[in-house]
Amino acid sequence: MRYFKVKKRVAMVSAGLVCCLALEAPLTVCASEGTSVLQTAGVASLFETTHTTEEYKEFAQQAQGASWGYTNIGIANVESGNLNVREAPSTDSKMVGKMPKNSACEVLEMMDGWAHITSGEVEGYVSTEFLFTGPDAKLAANDLVRTVVLVNTDGLNVRDEANTESAVLTQVPKGEELEYVETLEGWIKVSIDGEEAYVSAEYVTVEQRLDTAITMTELLYGQGVSDVRVELVEYAKQFLGNPYVWGGTSLTKGADCSGFVLSVFKKFGVSLSHHSGSQAKEGVKISASDLKPGDLVFYANSSGTINHVAIYIGGGKVIHASSPTTGIKISNYNYRTVVRCVRVLQD
């Protein structure tokens, strides 16, 4: 439903922005560190009230300048799945990355139905048929931008309560992102895989960010990986970006962490419980150094009880149904403390 909401707003407001921009020479596009787009100039204020010429110009300037570090922002406009990023502007060209639904990119050039883009560590070409650009992209981005907590130190303690005497839920390495909830005195309340917790404000930075593309390197497999493992991981990645639903097992309409794992493995004839703690006992325990694509990685709460599971996909990455905010996503396998690794596929 979110997709259709964005599309409707974009269509309405774009017309208003065109009118605004027509009032004078084109405005210079600027990068910004998280300025909101049209916070006081939504559809109602543009079309239901009367403004002066100067006010319309100001609304247009706001939309031009608010791009979260992007000069010419683009947003992947796909119903589901990912937008393929190719090495050259052709559907026959090698794929170099994937832009998940609603992720952002810098548009370098437009040509014959293709856009030359950069997104995260990916540079290549995407079809403009599936890309919001210009005012459409900025209005979409305004709805899609996320407030995140960026970890600035190794082994950051994530605690159950906002004090140093509280139990440590997990530890998070430098460079990881946590979901932001709210700012407290000296502490930041975060969500990690749907569980609320606290981190010291001294060791993190709160930023606004848009999702970016996934490199093909992040999706590669090591040597000696069996066909069934490759097929299982490829199958799991089809559902990247789909929703998280507690208690769910649908790969398209919504699943929780263990429901996602259950349904992926069911496709390959493996029956698992719908509970992460039970799944941790339904295979052979292995060390993290022995992980292969298709193995399971488990995480626990502050009492040591396993409460989350992910599928290892190779390259130090896992795919998992994380939370209602992020849905099914790819993370570093050690984005939080790993407590158990299990091999279910015996090949």
Catalytically annotated residue among 20, 105, 275, 308: 308
**Mean pLDDT (the chain, rounded):** 82
Tokens of 60: 């247009």
Residue 320 falls in the annotated catalytic set: yes
Query: Interhelix angle for 2-21 vs 134-144, to 10°?
Result: 140
Residue 308 falls in the annotated catalytic set: yes
Work out the average pLDDT over 284-289.
Answer: 95
Cα torsion 95, 110, 240, 290: sign? positive
User: Is residue 278 over pLDDT 60?
Assistant: yes
* One-character DSSP codes across 310-340: EEEEETTEEEEEEETTTEEEEEETTSS---E
Question: CA distances (Å), 270 to each of 82, 130, 298, 309, 332, in order?
Answer: 27, 36, 18, 16, 25
> Tokens 């006081």 map to which residue?
40
Secondary structure letter of residue 195 according to DSSP: E
Work out the average pLDDT over 313-319.
Answer: 92
Residue 1: count other Cβ atoms within 10 Å of its Cβ.
5
Of the two residues 115 and 98, the one the predictor is more confident about is 115
| 31 contact partners, CB below 8 Å, separation of at least 6 | 67, 69, 70, 71
Catalytically annotated residue among 105, 257, 275, 341: 257
* Burial classification of residue 147, based on how many CB atoms lie within 10 Å of its CB (0-12 exposed, 13-18 middle, 19 or more buried): middle
Residue 275 falls in the annotated catalytic set: no
Catalytically annotated residue among 20, 105, 275, 320: 320
Segments in 145-282 forming alpha helices (H): 227-237, 257-266, 276-279
End-to-end CA distance of the chain: 41
Segments in 22-133 forming alpha helices (H): 43-47, 53-65
pLDDT digits (tens, 9 = 90+) for 195-245: 999 999 999 999 988 888 876 655 555 555 677 888 899 899 889 889 999
Work out the average pLDDT over 34-49.
Answer: 33
Identify the structural domains of the chain with CATH numbers, from first to last.
2-144 (2.30.30.40), 146-209 (2.30.30.40), 214-343 (3.90.1720.10)
Dihedrals φ, ψ of 226, to 5°? Answer: -70, 160
pTM higher than the cut 0.95: no
CB 324 within 8 A of CB 206: no
Helix (H, G, I), strand (E, B) or coil at 24: coil
Confidence grade of residue 131 (pLDDT, cut at 50, 70, 90)? very high
